[in-house]
Structure 1
Amino acid sequence: MAYYSAVIQVCFFLLAYYICLTAGTDLEGRFLQFEKNFVNVKEALEAKVVTLETKVARLEAKVEQQESQIAALILKEREKDQSSSTKKFTMSVELNQNYKRNAIFRTCQELRSSNPLLESGMYWIDPDGQGVGDDAIHVFCDMKSGKTLIGHDSESKIDVGKCAEPGCYSRKINYYATDRQIESLIGLSNNCSQRILINCNNAPLNVGGVEYSWYNTKSKKSDGKQTFSDWLTNCDSSRTQDTGRLVNYQQILNRLNFGGTLKGSLQHTLGKIECEGKAKNEGMPKSCEDLWRMGHTLNGIFAVKGSKSIESLYCDFNRRPNENGFEKRIGYADVKSDPVHFYVQRNSSFNTKYTPIPFHFARVNEGNAMNLTSGEFTAPRPGTYFFSFSGIAEYSHLHKNQVFMYIGLFLNGVVRIGGDFTEEGSSYYHSNKRGPLSFQSTLNLDNGDKVWLQIYASSNDVYLLEDRENHFSHFTGFMLEENIVASL
């Protein structure tokens, strides 16, 4: 509108100029004609302005409509991109979880050995074994050295603040791995360490023999309190920055404790757990732990080097080396256990009936299954056992009637397995007379079964002969074979 108004004004001034020039010739007629023409031009221009304004309004409406459509398209594309990103993220998580489940390597050292071209960075490893134990863990692998680094939530420089009492500041260290995985990594590595940096000023660590600051380490057996005094010596007055490194790392540092900072200051920085190398396992494996360090993860029976011969082990790699049931020796402890055998004797004669015969000493009593005082043998494990007895019965006085002694092997107080006897018919004699006794037995026993010798019939003047020098009575027994199925 402003543009067309300006055009009209210019035309008006041109017209006035023309009138001045033609003032001498019919000025009035020309002026009237000019006025008429001006009105026509004005009306035409105004009509054109209205038309143009209408077109502009339509164009603006169209532009607004197109902008609205563009905005809708942008929103739709954003939603599409967001859906695609969500899908990609979900796929990434799934792939990540699959990678975690399918982790093969137990340490960064193993990963580096498999591909020396890998760059340092974050990788998934599974120290306690693929498919067993805890989930894989995300660690930093230094591919130049093969080190495995496990992080935690206290790696930044942290101010203890004002704290007067011993250990009044206490911070638990939360690692990005389970204790089981960390312990497994330590067991697989040649050496593990952790760096501690202390910045302190006028914050004594020990006052009058009282420790104000310490750290705790944790293992399966105990929580250990460790002091900083081995490497940090000067926090009393001057500003000190000391770095200590826990080497030969075997127990997990799980808590930092500080105190005595009321008049001073102290900050701590705890580094990652760093493990490197491979645990040494020279020669043939001697245990399930040696096999585990070598990389075995499938449960089974293995032959290992024993102290005197090759031995058989059952290894349960679903467990850790320090857990019960990880290793069972076949033929020895846990499955086919330690040997069981005994040989016992008496020092004096005996003729008490209906009770187990006690003994005074044992030449051998491997497994301690024979109780000398009670005279009872208790089977420690189910299996096949052999027993043997020999002795001498003595008729010590003159007699004219028949004399005898019956001795037997009893099982659990009810069953007489077998035995032997000696007897002498009626006769007169003035010196002692003797008769031998002996028997053997092989029995299948259950765990806890009791076996003993007993005189179950005899004349009054008949004794089981014995003295301290000659030892005529001999009772022996041993386990021939253990019932492994019943033991498991």
Structure 2
Amino acid sequence: MNRVLLFVLSVVVGAFCQTSDDEKSCLGNTVHNYFYGPEGQTINPTHNPVGSQQQGKPGKIGPRGDRGFTGQKGTKGEPGQSSNTARELQRLQTELDALKAKLETPLALPPSCDYVRGKKSSGIYLISPEPTKLQPFYVYCNFTGDASDAYIWHDTMEEMAVSKCQAAKCYRRKISYNVDMDQIVALIKISSRCRQFIKYRCRASVMFYDSGADHASWVSRGGTQMHYWGGATSRRNDYCACGETGTCVDSSKKCNCDRNTAPETSDEGYLTDKDALPVTGLFFGDTDASDEFGWHTLGPLICSGRQ
């Protein structure tokens, strides 16, 4: 009789534990799987939010054994995924694939300073004039009003003294830039204008006029010696800016320095030939006497506009 009562009681309790919402009264502490919502908020899975998982119901009581005792209750099932969870995982996977594709796409760099978006402040920017062939490189972008100038520096930015020597072009200075020449040429090609300041400060040191011998020249990027000076827009040989405007200290000369006497004077201006820039070398002479001196200055290459 007692065995029959125990069996009936076991069946009733087992059924109650499988159907009752108060699982704690049957199984002790219940394990819940939480997920974190916006800003780390823990969300209770009893509300069945998107992406939540719930523990399966406990297994049924085992069959009665040979000695009349009931089997042990089965363990809880593995947590399953709701249809909402599957849809959420699919959405996240799609977003992840799109993010990977975006990260693998090369950054769209501006070809020059003129293409920098916003143009908020002057500074160093990474540009790429020819992205299919050349590596991007850094330039200084100067934004003034509507102008967007790209500056490329070199190793002779400061004024330098010409060493003592007499023969024409006996002093030679090679110019090295902080950017490869093919990158510079790519920037020049996509720019509507480029310029480079050049100056020779002299005291009794001639440039182009000395019995028909040119003592000075600048070298183009192609290696050609050029015999006109900055500011001479006609680009005629042996001319400086003052020679074209008729403002040289000696009106019979085409350059101030060609007066070849004291006191100190200078010739200066911008070179603007895109096919020749940048300057890659400087030649001078006629500085050997005690009263003969020369100093040269070469500014950065500056390019702006769109071709």
TM-score normalised according to structure 2 size: 0.53
**Which of 84, 107, 113 in structure 2 is aligned with 1:108?**
113
Aligned match of 1:194: 196
Counterpart residue type for residue 186 of structure 1: I
CA distance in 2, matches of 1:240, 1:110: 40
Cα deviation for residue 136 of structure 1 reads: 1.8
**Could you say what secondary structure the match of 2:205 adopts?**
coil
Once residues 121 and 265 of structure 1 are traced to their aligned partners in structure 2, the CA distance between those partners, rounded to angstroms, is 37
Match in the other structure for 1:244: 269
Between the aligned partners of 1:179 and 1:133, the Cα distance in structure 2 is 13
- Quote the residue 1:266 is aligned against: 294
SS at match of 2:287: coil
TM-superposed CA distance for 1:103, in Å, is 6.1
Residue identity (%): 27
Could you tell me which residue of structure 1 aligns to residue 13 of structure 2? none
CA distance in 2, matches of 1:180, 1:103: 20
Higher relative contact order (CA 8 A, sep 6+): 2
Larger fraction in strand: 1
Q: Residue 127 of structure 1 contacts residue 185 of structure 1 at CA under 8 Å; is this kept in 2?
A: yes
Per the alignment, residue 208 of structure 1 pairs with: 211
For residues 165 and 249 of structure 1, the distance between their equivalents in structure 2, rounded to whole angstroms, comes to 30
**Residue 174 of structure 1 corresponds to which residue in structure 2?**
176
Q: Given the alignment, which residue of 217, 232, 243 partners 2:220?
A: 217
1:164 to 143, 162, 166: 166
Do the aligned partners of 2:126 and 2:138 also contact (CA within 8 Å) in 1? Answer: yes
8 Å CA contact retained: 2:125, 2:140: yes
| Contact 1:167–1:213 (Cα < 8 Å) also in 2 | yes
Q: Is the 8 A contact 1:138 1:176 kept in 2?
A: no
Asked if structure 1 preserves the Cα contact closer than 8 Å seen for 2:166 and 2:285, the reply is: yes
Offset of residue 248 of structure 1: 3.4
CA distance in 2, matches of 1:203, 1:110: 44
1:468-483 map, 5 Å = none
Of 241-250 and 159-168, deviating more is 241-250
1:134/1:178 contact within 8 Å kept:
no
Q: TM-score, normalised by structure 1?
A: 0.34
SS of the residue aligned with 1:149? strand
Question: Aligned-pair distance for 1:135?
Answer: 2.3
Aligned-residue RMSD, C-alpha: 1.8
Distance 1:163 1:127 in 2: 42
Per-residue deviation at 1:102?
4.1
Distance 1:103 1:239, change over 3 A: farther
Segments of 5+ residues of structure 2 without an aligned counterpart are 1-102, 230-237, 242-254
Whether contact under 8 Å (1:137, 1:176) holds in the other structure is no
Q: Deviations over 1:390-438 (max 9, x none)?
A: xxxxxxxxxxxxxxxxxxxxxxxxxxxxxxxxxxxxxxxxxxxxxxxxx
Superposed CA deviations along residues 240-272 of structure 1, whole A, max 9, x for unmatched, are 122121013222311101111112101011001
Q: Distance in 2 between matches of 1:134 and 1:119?
A: 26
Report the 3-state secondary structure (helix = DSSP H, G, I; strand = E; otherwise coil) of the residue aligned with 1:212: coil
> Following TM superposition, where does structure 1 have runs of at least 4 consecutive aligned residues deviating by more than 4 angstroms?
none
CA contact (8 A) 1:191 1:247 kept: yes
C-alpha distance in structure 1 between counterparts of 2:202 and 2:189, whole Å = 34
Alpha carbons 2:148, 2:304 under 8 Å: kept: yes
Q: Any residues of structure 2 matched to 1:272-311 within 5 Å, and which?
A: 272-279=300-307
Q: How does 1:237-386 map to 2 (within 5 A)?
A: 237=261, 238-251=263-276, 252-263=278-289, 264-279=292-307
CA contact under 8 A between 1:194 and 1:249: conserved in structure 2? no
- For the structure 1 residues 199 and 133, does the alpha-carbon distance in structure 2 shift closer, same or farther, using more than 3 Å as the test? same
- Is residue 230 of structure 1 aligned with residue 233 of structure 2? no
2:80 is aligned to none
Q: Tell me what 1:300 maps to.
A: none
The secondary structure found in structure 2 opposite 1:278 is coil
1:368-401 deviation per Cα after TM superposition (whole angstroms, max 9, x unaligned): xxxxxxxxxxxxxxxxxxxxxxxxxxxxxxxxxx
Distance 1:246 1:268 in 2: 15
Aligned to 1:476: none
Structure 1: tracts of 5 or more residues without a match: 1-97, 280-488
Taking the aligned partners of 1:176 and 1:103, their CA distance within structure 2 comes to 23
Q: 3-state SS of the aligned residue for 2:138? A: strand
CA deviations on 1:50-84 (whole Å, 9 max, x unpaired) are xxxxxxxxxxxxxxxxxxxxxxxxxxxxxxxxxxx
Aligned to 1:143: 143
Q: CA deviation at 1:231?
A: 1.0
Which residue does the alignment assign to 1:95? none
